[in-house]
Amino acid sequence: MSNYTKSSLQLIWDQTLDKLKTGAFFDMAIFNTYIHESKLYDLNQNGAIVIIPSFVSRQIFENNKAVIENALSEVIDEPITIQFTLKKEIQNYTELNEENKKIILEDKLLDKYTFDNFVVGHSNRESQAAALSCAVNPGEFFNPLFIYGNSGLGKTHLLHAIGNYVKEHSPEKKVIYIYSEDFISLIVNSIRDKTIEEVKRIIEEADYLLIDDIQRLKQGERSQEIFFNLYNNLFSKGKQIVLTSDIHPSELKGIENRLISRFNSGLSVGIDSPEFETSLAILEKKIEERNEHLLIERSVLEYIATTYSNDVRELEGNLNKLIFKAILYNPKVIDLDFAIMAFKDDPNNKSPGVMTVSKIKKAVCDFYGLTRSQLESKMKTKNISNARHIAIYLCRKHLDMPFAKIGMEFGGRDHSTIMASYEKVNKLIKEKELFASAVIKIEKKLGV
């Protein structure tokens, strides 16, 4: 700390502000709203710390740093550098260790994940709508919002999109994005350093608490206890909480029941593998973002979309691989032959046209709007069991697989159950036109 008393710091700053005002460096409105509201917090041989009134004003102060430094150094009669900070940051400044400061004070939001570049389709429509609603009307409708789904389907993207939306539209709001493993380290570190109260205070000031991959929270029990308290506190103040996980809240293992029941009290929305059309649209969006002006034939995109659409990360990864090879070999057009060459070493790759169980499952799921796990589950809802019967029928018909082997592909069902499904479909195709046309449509999608 400086040797200056509070009142002498104030005096110095008043004189500095006077200089800035008389020098007419700022528009009057800007001066009165922002510059005039700042305070000199500290002054010592390392420099000065000036508290700025709001997050929005930071840019104004930074842009005029030289002018302000100059005015201050004229007052104290020596050169000086200034660091601008928010009041909140000052309080933590002295107490938290570097690692914790990074976790909780640094802006973790990645600019590249926004609502604008999130492609919406059947598989993610609900999640996207709920996320957007939380960004626009925090704490009002869905609190907490719980987004669950397999890896690589866009959960992290949506979480950042909420944060970025708020940053753009309500910059005065405080958003905390934490990856749940960082949350555990934060708690463990701050208990050790006896700064846990400080950490709690910072989190409790948040307007949005976004926690990614909450299923990992199970590792630290003490952190669950603290999280529970923080959660209740924020929730009771109507602050928006958004959580993501790779499983539905009720299936979270190792997380206390009282937390799970909190998670269940808001809205849980699932996010699924993209269906064909969405996969295509995602590929197109990613190409557009890269701005490489490559001529990729539509058949190539269709090929990637059918072969790799379990997971958007994989879809994107394979597109990158194709683009990389295209840059390397510089073909005239990127057509199906080139794509097949580019992917030929890929162990997951089945050349187009070859039927697989996976393709059959996907086509059936797309047609019925189901997830793969629903198709393979024991659920007996009519829609789901019909879809399952058809998938089994198609596996038998087009892959000529033994019934027992098909059974293994559908949640460990036995030989006779599979045979019954196959026969049921055979019968229904003959008796019900609607049913037959569904099967034909799915076969068409499979290129049969």
Q: Which residues bind ligand ADP (CB under 6 A)?
A: 113, 117-119, 124, 151-157, 282, 285, 312-313, 316
- Choice between 75 and 159, CB closer to Mg ion: 159
Within 19-58, which residues bind Mg ion (CB under 5 A)?
none
- Choice between 108 and 155, CB closer to Mg ion: 155
Q: Shortest distance, CB of residue 113 to ligand ADP, whole angstroms?
A: 6
Measuring CA to CA, which residue among 196, 180, 173 is closest to residue 100?
196
Q: 3-state class of 438 per DSSP?
A: helix
- Choice between 147 and 255, CB closer to ligand ADP: 147
- Choice between 152 and 171, CB closer to ligand ADP: 152
User: Alpha-carbon distance 220 to 212, whole Å?
Assistant: 16
DSSP 89: H
Pairing of strands 47-52, 39-44: antiparallel
Task: Please identify the residue of the shown chain whose CB is closest to the bound Mg ion.
Answer: 156
CB 310 within 8 A of CB 273: yes
Task: Please identify the residue of the shown chain whose CB is closest to the bound ligand ADP.
Answer: 154
Q: Shortest distance, CB of residue 160 to ligand ADP, whole angstroms?
A: 8
Q: Shortest distance, CB of residue 159 to Mg ion, whole angstroms?
A: 8
**Which partner from the list Mg ion, ligand ADP, none does 391 bind, CB cut-off 5 to 8 Å by kind?**
none
Binding characters for Mg ion, 137-176, by CB under 5 A (x = yes):
------------------xx--------------------
Q: Shortest distance, CB of residue 375 to Mg ion, whole angstroms?
A: 24
- Choice between 104 and 319, CB closer to ligand ADP: 319
**Which partner from the list ligand ADP, Mg ion, none does 395 bind, CB cut-off 5 to 8 Å by kind?**
none
- Choice between 195 and 318, CB closer to ligand ADP: 318
Q: 3-state class of 86 per DSSP?
A: strand
**Which partner from the list ligand ADP, Mg ion, none does 157 bind, CB cut-off 5 to 8 Å by kind?**
ligand ADP
Residue 57 token pair? 């004003």
Q: Shortest distance, CB of residue 415 to Mg ion, whole angstroms?
A: 40
User: Alpha-carbon distance 438 to 448, whole Å?
Assistant: 14
Q: Shortest distance, CB of residue 150 to ligand ADP, whole angstroms?
A: 7
CB 225 within 8 A of CB 129: no
**Which partner from the list Mg ion, ligand ADP, none does 299 bind, CB cut-off 5 to 8 Å by kind?**
none
Measuring CA to CA, which residue among 248, 297, 251, 292 is closest to residue 269?
248
**Which partner from the list Mg ion, ligand ADP, none does 119 bind, CB cut-off 5 to 8 Å by kind?**
ligand ADP
Concatenating the DSSP letter of every residue in 32-79 gives HHTGGG-EEEEEETTEEEEEES-GGGHHHHHHTHHHHHHHHHHHHTS-
- Choice between 120 and 419, CB closer to ligand ADP: 120
Please work out, in degrees rounded to the nearest 5, the angle formed at the alpha carbon of residue 51 by the alpha carbons of 45 and 53: 165
Using CB atoms within 10 A of its CB, is residue 298 exposed (0-12), middle (13-18) or buried (19+)?
Answer: exposed
Peptide bond between residue 171 and the one before it cis (omega within 30 degrees of 0): no
**Which partner from the list Mg ion, ligand ADP, none does 446 bind, CB cut-off 5 to 8 Å by kind?**
none
Measuring CA to CA, which residue among 354, 356, 376, 355 is closest to residue 365?
376
- Choice between 151 and 229, CB closer to ligand ADP: 151
Binding stretches for Mg ion (CB under 5 A): 155-156
